Amino acid sequence: MENSRETILYNDADINRAARCLKAMSHPLRLKILCVLGTEKISVQEIVKQVGTSQSNISQHLAILREKDILGHEKKANRVYYYIDDERMLKLIHMMREVFCTSC
């Protein structure tokens, strides 16, 4: 029988990506933005309405999430729509809802 430590692989690139994503998500406002987005493509204006803070504040946090490759964006006319660009992030958000959301 193999030692379980031998069968576990630690890929530094995966660990570093996970740490970057979790750090970006750890801010309450960014986490709320991700929960609002879910599987939808939502405009900045709609995110502002649902999250309840200024557009400049939302834009700063969206930029951080884009920089960490968590969000994708699409420009249509004069609106920018954001969406979660990684299936793994959607799974993570779903799991967080199951674990932490008492009203879900």
DSSP states along 8-39: ----HHHHHHHHHHHHHHTSHHHHHHHHHHTT
CATH architecture of 4-100: Orthogonal Bundle (1.10)
pTM of the model: 0.80
pLDDT (tens place) for every residue of the chain, 104 residues total: 445 555 555 788 888 888 888 898 899 999 999 989 988 999 999 999 999 999 999 999 999 999 988 999 999 999 999 999 888 888 988 888 888 877 65
For the chain, first and last CA: distance in Å? Answer: 43
Which residues sit opposite 80 in a β-bridge? 75
3-state secondary structure of 6: helix
Q: Which sequence spans correspond to the domains of the chain?
A: 4-100
DSSP-assigned letters across all residues of 40-97: S-EEHHHHHHHHTS-HHHHHHHHHHHHHTT-EEEEEETTEEEEEE--HHHHHHHHHHH
